[in-house]
Structure 1
Amino acid sequence: MRFLAVLVFVLILGLPRISHAQSEPDRLREALRTATAQSRALEDQRAALQAKLTAAEQERDRLKKQNDTFRAQVKEAEQAYRQAVKDFNERIAERDDALEKWKLAYGEAASVARTKDTERTKFEGEATALKASVKACEAKNVNLAKTANEIVTKYEEMNPLEKVLDHDPLFGLKRVEHQNAAQDFRDKIIEQKVKP
């Protein structure tokens, strides 16, 4: 029984070899089919990868051109920015210069205004003093005119005999009175003299 079991076992193991020996051409055909299918699949895969590679290269070239365009735009933008900053700084410098000139002119105008104000105050004081002086002169002038009127009136009131008696060296009776009156008139005139 043991022998029978071994024999069955050997036959079972040997049968596939026998059937396998008969299907070797089939197996080779099958392997050829599989290899052909794999070759086609690989060829299809290679074609697809080649198409992807071509598309990727085209995309790379397109992106490179786009990148170059963007770089040129960035360079132009940087130049425009630098020019704008330069122009802005020049305008700021011009504004600062104009402001400085304006400050100087304002300072000069303020100085002139202060000087003029000081002069105006001084002249107003002088004008006030002159007005007071003119009023005083006018008052003294009125008094002087009165004194002159008195002299003329006294002289006109003298009759010719008094004039002769006044001036005659022998008689000279009224001479002292006349000299006293003349001295009083001189004193009145001197009182009216304007003192600067």
Structure 2
Amino acid sequence: MRLLRLSSIVALALTIPAIAHADQEGDRLREALRSATAQARAAEDQRAALQAKLTAAEQERERLRKQNEAFRAQVKEAEQAYRQAVKDFNERLTERDDSLEKWKVAYGEAAGVARAKDAERAKFEAEATAFKASTKACEAKNIQLARTANEVVTKYEAMDPFEKVLDHDPVFGLKRVEHQNAAQDYRDKILEQKAKP
């Protein structure tokens, strides 16, 4: 019994450190398990946070993709509007240039007509001035002619019948030469007053 006791004691002594060692090993394993569980939870939390960030990033990327498509559509519309505006502007420029060219031609024609009319006006004014001067000269000559005619008539009326007979008598013709000289003087005066165009 003693042996049994001793063997029990030895066994117990051997089992106590083994039990103590087993308790220590269990504590260490429990601690390792707790640590692994904590790490697993932390990793799971981190994975969940990263998953949330990934989801948020994907949503942000989708939002930015849609925004990018909208901007591209706006840019495309703006480019089309710009091209149309440039086309319209160029058409208006072409129309303006055509209109301007027509106005230039019309202005040139009007200026030519105005110059021709101005030349005609100057010519007619010169002719009118010449005609006025000519008319004044004719009027002056007509006054002289009327005086000469009046003088002839007055001299003829002043002749008495006897002088008339003597002037026209072919036999005597005493005053005939005098009468012919006076007639020639009056003819010369009349011819001097002839209007020359």
> 119-128 or 131-140, which moves further after superposition?
119-128
Q: Give the superposed CA RMSD.
A: 2.4
1:126 paired residue number? 127
- Mapping of residues 43-192 of structure 1, within 5 Å: 43-192=44-193
Give the drift of 1:155: 1.8
Give the drift of 1:121: 2.9
Give the drift of 1:186: 0.9
Aligned length: 181
Q: Distance in 2 between matches of 1:17 and 1:124?
A: 150
Q: Distance in 2 between matches of 1:183 and 1:158?
A: 18
> 66-75 or 164-173, which moves further after superposition?
164-173
Q: Report the CA distance shift for 1:122/1:17 in structure 2 as closer, same or farther (over 3 A).
A: farther
Which residue identity does 2:173 align to in structure 1?
G
Give the drift of 1:22: 5.0
Question: Where does structure 2 lack aligned partners over 5 or more consecutive residues?
Answer: 1-16
Q: Distance in 2 between matches of 1:166 and 1:41?
A: 170
Give the drift of 1:50: 1.3
Which residue identity does 2:116 align to in structure 1?
T
Which residue identity does 2:46 align to in structure 1?
Q
SS in 2 for 1:23: helix
Give the drift of 1:79: 1.3
Give the drift of 1:146: 0.6
Q: Distance in 2 between matches of 1:189 and 1:80?
A: 94
Q: TM-score, normalised by structure 1?
A: 0.80
2:41 paired residue number? 40
Q: Distance in 1 between matches of 2:115 and 2:70?
A: 66
Q: Distance in 1 between matches of 2:136 and 2:19?
A: 163
Q: Distance in 1 between matches of 2:46 and 2:21?
A: 34
Q: Distance in 2 between matches of 1:135 and 1:104?
A: 46
Q: Percent identity?
A: 81
Q: TM-score, normalised by structure 2?
A: 0.79
Q: Report the CA distance shift for 1:115/1:17 in structure 2 as closer, same or farther (over 3 A).
A: farther
Q: Distance in 2 between matches of 1:93 and 1:160?
A: 99
Give the drift of 1:47: 1.4
Give the drift of 1:149: 0.6
Q: Distance in 2 between matches of 1:114 and 1:20?
A: 133
Deviations 1:137-170 (A, max 9, x none): 1111111001111111122222333333322323
